[in-house]
Structure 1
Amino acid sequence: MKKPLRVIVLGEGKDERGKPRTLPPFARVPHDQQGAMEILVRRALYPLRHPGQSWHRGLKDNDGIHVLQPPAPRLPRQPAMTELLADSNALAPLVSAALKPLRGPVPVDLLVATHDADEAASSAIKAVHVVNTSLGTHVPLLQPAPEIQAWLTSKRAIELAYDREHCTVPVPDEDALKKDAKAELQRLLRTFGGSFNAKMQASLAERMPVEDLGRYDWSGWNQATETLKVALVENGLKKLEL
């Protein structure tokens, strides 16, 4: 049996489903506490662990990919994740703890940074590059364009997540998604009074049909698996039989 792939995901927003997580650093995060980006990273990694197979929500905690709780930054003030991702000095200790600990075994196999492809992305790109160069790590940066909601918005996913009848949710407008994906998702939810929150976005990430995830090449999803594969190889994980 293959060893589980241990992954930490750093995202801009909440890393859970709307409730504070009290897990210790590097503890495994149960499926029902994972946020949308953590689930999407698992979905992008799954074909690497199981070639020719597609992730499905019935797998839950049994897909061979363990999402771990990130270590807390050792700073006087707990920064927002957007601040941490833009500051190489704040990001470096976290990456070091995960991938280059001073003592003991390396607790994770892959640390993934994520940031919407917006005007602020340049700071994250620079910070991740500086950290990788200085530490000799390979932290990949996934950038949903224009934001994560472009990876989450599909009429079928919304119908499944909100238990709506088939074809009762409008088809997303592609031009609107390109411009402001969050606003377009909110527009679709308003057609039947759906709530826009972290828990429901995680539910969309679970239920998104694979064909909808890859529908828009401009969104960046179609490059996610290859980006993660390169990072795994660079981190020397050929032994995991990827």
Structure 2
Amino acid sequence: MKAFRIVVLGEGKDESGKARTLAPFTPVPHAQQGAMEILVRRGLYPLLNADQPWHRGLAQGDGIEILQPPTTRVPRAPAMVEILADPNKLALLVSASLRPVRGSALADLLVATHDADGAEPAIKAVAVVNASLRTHVPLLLPAPEIQAWLTRKRSIELSYDRPHCSVPEPDEAALKRDAKAELQRLLGTFGGKFDARMQARMAEFVSNDDLGRYDWTDWGAVPALLKAAMDAERAHRAV
């Protein structure tokens, strides 16, 4: 069965992992995928498999292929956070992935992501690009930031090989205010390292129930956004 190909644009290493040297549209090995790339796969899997839930045993065989994003051909390669805020730069990546001048699309879906804090420029840029290119790129906005989706007691324990009930429960008010700081506080209780690779592990280990525990994180909006984008792209290609 043909893999479902996705490009995920994340504003930093917490979303996309450490810097990669892969060619554009090359499949990203599982070990190099970032937390947001894994979470997008988790959100897509039920939509592609009759509402069957994703589980960690599917991590390398779920039929979903993460592709290395394209780059902008300019003298100074801008950071992804800059691209997400600029409709002209963003349009170059979206068109290369979904609306190439020649040939068929190189991805089945492109997903933009940005922490909800400071997301106004990205919201405007994605809207402009979708209108001008007739695409339906979804913008996922974890509130206040991606760590609010990841930070749960059990996901930390499993990711860091800690004993059961050895990590405190996160403080919801602190998580809502500054999720990154709350995750760092919890990791500090046992000297855990705060880095992109470990957050990717947490994205695999956090349970489906824990992902949806707090409505305010906006994880609940993800399935509908992804489904609308998939349906729109399929309809476009059927014309």
CA contact (8 A) 1:12 1:82 kept: yes
Paired residue for 1:101?
A: 100
Q: Find the aligned partners of 1:41 and 1:127 in 2 and give their Cα distance.
A: 20
> After the TM superposition, which parts of structure 1 deviate over 4 Å for at least 4 consecutive aligned residues?
237-240
SS in 2 for 1:46: helix
Paired residue for 1:137?
A: 135
TM-score (norm 1): 0.94
SS in 2 for 1:205: helix
Paired residue for 1:156?
A: 154
Paired residue for 1:58?
A: 57
Query: Aligned partner of 2:90: which letter?
Result: L
The 1:141–1:84 alpha-carbon spacing in structure 2 relative to 1, beyond 3 Å, is same
Listed as ranges, the matches of 1:192-207 within 5 Å are: 192-207=190-205
CA contact (8 A) 1:109 1:237 kept: no
CA contact (8 A) 1:84 1:91 kept: yes
Q: Find the aligned partners of 2:40 and 2:171 in 1 and give their Cα distance.
A: 25
Confirm or deny that 1:49 pairs with 2:54. Answer: no
Paired residue for 2:76?
A: 77
Paired residue for 2:181?
A: 183
Paired residue for 1:222?
A: 220
Query: What CA RMSD, in Å, does the superposition of the two structures yield over aligned residues?
Result: 1.5
Q: Find the aligned partners of 1:126 and 1:94 in 2 and give their Cα distance.
A: 16
Give deviations 1:21-42, integer Å, cap 9, x for gaps. 2211111111111000000000
Instruction: Give the superposition deviation at 1:235.
Output: 1.2
Paired residue for 1:166?
A: 164
Q: Find the aligned partners of 1:115 and 1:102 in 2 and give their Cα distance.
A: 27
Instruction: Give the superposition deviation at 1:105.
Output: 1.6
Q: Find the aligned partners of 2:74 and 2:120 in 1 and give their Cα distance.
A: 23
Query: Aligned partner of 1:214: which letter?
Result: G
CA contact (8 A) 2:30 2:60 kept: yes
CA contact (8 A) 2:10 2:16 kept: no
Q: Find the aligned partners of 1:54 and 1:239 in 2 and give their Cα distance.
A: 27
TM-score (norm 2): 0.95
Q: How many residues align?
A: 237
Between the aligned residues of both structures, percent identity stands at: 65
SS in 2 for 1:236: helix
Instruction: Give the superposition deviation at 1:61.
Output: 2.1
Q: Find the aligned partners of 2:41 and 2:235 in 1 and give their Cα distance.
A: 16
SS in 1 for 2:158: helix
Paired residue for 2:114?
A: 115
Q: Find the aligned partners of 1:192 and 1:237 in 2 and give their Cα distance.
A: 50
Query: Aligned partner of 1:8: which letter?
Result: V
Confirm or deny that 1:211 pairs with 2:209. Answer: yes
Instruction: Give the superposition deviation at 1:51.
Output: 2.1
Paired residue for 1:10?
A: 9
Query: Aligned partner of 2:192: which letter?
Result: G
Instruction: Give the superposition deviation at 1:238.
Output: 9.7
